[in-house]
Amino acid sequence: MNLHSEDGARVALRPTGYQFGRGSAPPGDWDANWLLVRGEVRTATGESWSFHDPCLTTWDCVELQGWLSAASRGDVAPTDEPSEDDGLLWFTEPNLAFSVAEISADELVLRVHLSLESGPMEPGSMPNPAPNLYEYALPLKMSRARLLSAADEWQADIAPYPNR
């Protein structure tokens, strides 16, 4: 999935495989459903970094697809200060989260919150986490139609990785 902002910022997310290969885990086992996700991030000012981490489950991926579709329809309320209790789509691992900052008839500002291993990296060092989870957010201004297209891309991206 590629999310592009009008100002040049972008976030690309792509599942690359299950964290653990096929094994004898029972259906619905958490370990069997962790996905490795490759992320490429570029800010409007040109900073960029990438990550490759098991930060979403198959269930999270399905939830994200539904949320992106709902946001593109205007069904996700914008919030000034999103939190786990209000306006933030968050997951088991706190590396990624999403919220809506603004919405109009044709456009919206989507926030991609990047924490821990998915957050901004200082060259040659460990991740540079924000003092609070979800504090670092990259705003992406885009058309609602473009977000719907990204939701469809994500659905295709996750199709090879069903719940196990």
pLDDT tens readout for residues 2-55: 999 999 999 999 999 999 877 666 777 888 999 999 999 999 999 999 999 999
Let me know if residue 164 belongs to a domain.
no
**Residues 6 or more apart from 148 whose CB is under 8 A from it?**
68, 69, 72, 73
In the chain, the number of structural domains is 1
Q: How far apart are CA 155 and CA 160, in angstroms?
A: 10
Please give the pLDDT value at position 28: 73
The tens digit of pLDDT for each residue in 77-93 reads 999 999 999 999 999 99
Residue 99: inside a domain, yes or no?
A: yes
pLDDT grade for 127, boundaries at 50, 70 and 90? low
Q: Is residue 27 one of the residues assigned to a domain?
A: yes
Q: List the domain range (segments joined by +) for residue 102.
A: 2-158
pTM of the model: 0.91
